[in-house]
Structure 1
Amino acid sequence: MALDSLDVRLLRIFVTIVEAGGFAAAQGELNLSLSTISNHISALESRLGLILCQRGRSGFRLTEEGRAVYEEAKRLFGTIDQFDIRMKGLQHRLNGTLSVGLIDNTLSDPASRLTRVFARMTDEAPEVALSIVTRPPHELLRDVITGELHIAIASFPRTTLGLEYVDLYEETQRFYCGAEHPLFSRDDSTIEIDDIRSYNLIGRSYWNARDLKIFSIANPRATVSDMEAEARLILSGRCLGYLPDHFASRYVSAGLLRPIRPDLFSYRAPFQAAFDKSRAKSGLVPFFVKLLTSEFGVAPSGRSASRLRAGR
């Protein structure tokens, strides 16, 4: 069938429903009544000649055909978004320098698609120069506030009023010990929180020991400002601390590190893009944010700071 604008609109409604988890859950985002949503999906099913989902008292569930249509629709909208970004770049002839701040040691994370984002930025806005710096997350937020950076991407220790945040992905953090540490050869089933408290723990300077809250200690034995420094101390066999699993994996494979009680001490650190919306009404920042949301497959709308998040 040949798609028209109505089909595209109905497909967007369908994708929203799937990602929300059902008709009722999608009401707020679509701003439509349940009956209107149901009518739209019925119209789409009629257009496609397929049953896309089961709905009713038993809940919402995609059919096999519905899952296939959802995946194809996502690919379609990704292509449309890329076309839209490219056209805006051509229309406005973006130029100047975009300053982006990152945290250290994220290159090995398969969930991070920043390499692809920077490639597209270079291809689709060839007159824009990139300035990329690597700093601890609290310094990145400071530099976005002062205007030194246009945008920062990290797992932030706090949220700052006046900035907008876009959720991108999550990073798994695990609690590690080195091969020379007494806990390295102990079975996880014998290790409890009280056991951990008796050893030297590493804190992150920008967290004020909040990353070690589960252990209820006043002060860590060592403090670091980046992941490489923390890894060095853990590898020494004298300290315990958190590392991203993708960063630690090479040392785990070599038998130099092991995670301790992943069931108890692991957590997911959300990564976000932070920017000053008042400085981002037009130009480079909206273009880059559109690239981020397109490449990471997330909602394009930013949100204001509202609560403290756990992370690096």
Structure 2
Amino acid sequence: MSQKNYSLGQVGDFEIKQLRIFKAVVDNGGFSAAETELNISRSTVSIHISNLEARLNLTLCRRGRGGFALTQEGQVIYEMTNKLLDSLEQFRDVANEMSHNPAGELRIVVSDGISLDPRCRFPEMISRFCDLAPDMTLHSEVAAMANIERIVLNDEANVGLTPYHRRLDGLNYIPLYSDICRLYCSQTHPLLGLTDDELTDEMIDGLTAIQPGLKLHEEASQQLCAMSLKATAYFYETRLAMILSGKFIAFLPEAYAEPYVQSGQLKRLGGDDRFYTLGIAAITKKSAQPNRPTALFLNVIHELSGQSVS
């Protein structure tokens, strides 16, 4: 596209919408991959990008058999778009800070099984927060621990509720509760008929076991290091289903597994020596001053948990 004697003029809401779509396409690596995030069809995405290119009088990307790729101009516009959208977000945060009745967005990312654990008190957190900020928009999603850390560090979420096997320097932690994780097999597993006295450590360690698929703290690693780890399942629901198949043994939080033990579907293995402790915490990115939505939610957490930041 020719840039001769071209002037962009005013940038309004419609152009900002197109730039957000352009950013989503680049972040997802193409038009098809961006459909789900944007919740619009690929053809509509394509129309928005074409209109943006016409508005800017620039070719932003190449698409075809060779795949999606940014042009040199597209790379510059992408970088400027990130700066523009970050500035708009900062403007909104500052305006909300000064508002008596705060508005804006709070993004929370939660690990498997935590949101409905009564020890977390997540429904109470949400209720209290909504009372304090009724105009706030809430977004919540579920992710694995390592992804939650990344999402919070990258400012894609304000708060994460997650187990932690480590403490990262860039994050603040508010401990919520601890889980005792014990070893289990199913009612269809060959070990079910053996008593605790008949079971030996060698027998247990020789069975096909499931690992969480992430780097564990020392206490957990010591429990798993001698076992025959031939399967991976991070989320408790998937891990439980694999245990119930009768082909695997695995560690689960005691509180999570207890209903299945009571119903006879699971049996605990290895006596009192087979366990490790797993802390659950609310995490936020370290910053000089959290924005108002984050600060409000952290105050709610402190109020309900009685814990301080560490």
TM-score bracket for the superposition, by shorter chain length: 0.5 to 0.7
Normalised by the size of structure 2, how large is the TM-score? 0.63
Residue aligning to 1:167: 175
Higher Rg of the two aligned structures:
2
| Inter-partner Cα distance in structure 2 for 1:108 and 1:147 | 25
Contact 2:210–2:250, Cα closer than 8 Å, also in 1: yes
Write the distance in 2 (CA, Å) between the matches of 1:111 and 1:262.
25
Does the 8 Å CA contact 1:203/1:224 hold for their aligned counterparts?
Answer: yes
In the alignment, the residues of structure 2 paired with residue 268 and residue 177 of structure 1 have an alpha-carbon distance, to the nearest angstrom, of 19
Partners of 2:274 and 2:100 in 1: how far apart?
49
CA drift at 1:218: 7.5
- Aligned Cα root-mean-square deviation (Å): 2.5
The Cα offsets for residues 194-230 of structure 1, whole Å up to 9 and x where unpaired, read as 2211100100112379745324248611101311110
Bigger shift: 266-275 or 276-285? 276-285
Map residues 228-247 of structure 1 onto 2, 5 A cutoff. Answer: 228-247=237-256
1:131 is the counterpart of 2:151: no
Structure 2 partner of 1:189: 197
Q: Which residue of 2 aligns with 1:253?
A: 262
Q: CA deviation at 1:107?
A: 4.5
Task: Work out whether residues 108 and 139 of structure 2, in 8 Å CA contact, stay in contact via their aligned partners in 1.
Answer: yes
What is the CA-CA distance between 1:98 and the residue it aligns to?
A: 0.5
Instruction: For 2:143, give the aligned amino acid.
Output: R
Q: Which among 94, 98, 105 is matched to residue 102 of structure 2? A: 94
1:269 matched to which residue of 2? 278
Question: Deviation of residue 129 (structure 1)?
Answer: 1.1
Q: Secondary structure at the match of 2:237?
A: helix
What are the within-5 Å matches in structure 2 for residues 29-68 of structure 1?
none
- Does residue 104 of structure 2 align to residue 104 of structure 1? no
Within the candidate set 301, 306, 309, 1:292 is matched to 301
- For structure 1, which runs of at least 5 residues remain unmatched after alignment? 1-88, 304-312
1:205 correspondence with 2:204: no
Partner of 1:142: 150
Q: Using the alignment, how far apart are the partners of 1:216 and 1:170 within structure 2?
A: 22
Q: 2:209·2:227 contact (CA, 8 Å) conserved in 1?
A: no
- 8 Å CA contact 1:174–1:265 kept in 2: the answer is yes
Q: How many residues align?
A: 214
Aligned partner of 1:281 among 282, 290, 307: 290
Please give the alpha-carbon distance, in whole angstroms, between the structure 2 residues aligned to 1:143 and 1:205: 18
What CA distance in whole angstroms lies between the structure 2 residues aligned with 1:128 and 1:279? 23
Alignment identity in percent?
Answer: 24
Change (3 A) 1:279 1:152: farther
CA distance in 2 between partners of 1:209 and 1:222 (Å): 19
Distance 1:255 1:213 in 2: 28
Structure 1 residue identity aligned to 2:151: D
Task: Please tell me whether the aligned partners of residues 165 and 273 of structure 1 are also in contact (alpha carbons under 8 angstroms).
Answer: yes
Q: What is the identity, as a one-letter code, of the residue corresponding to 1:286? A: A
Closer/same/farther in 2, CA of residues 279 and 259 from structure 1, 3 Å limit: farther
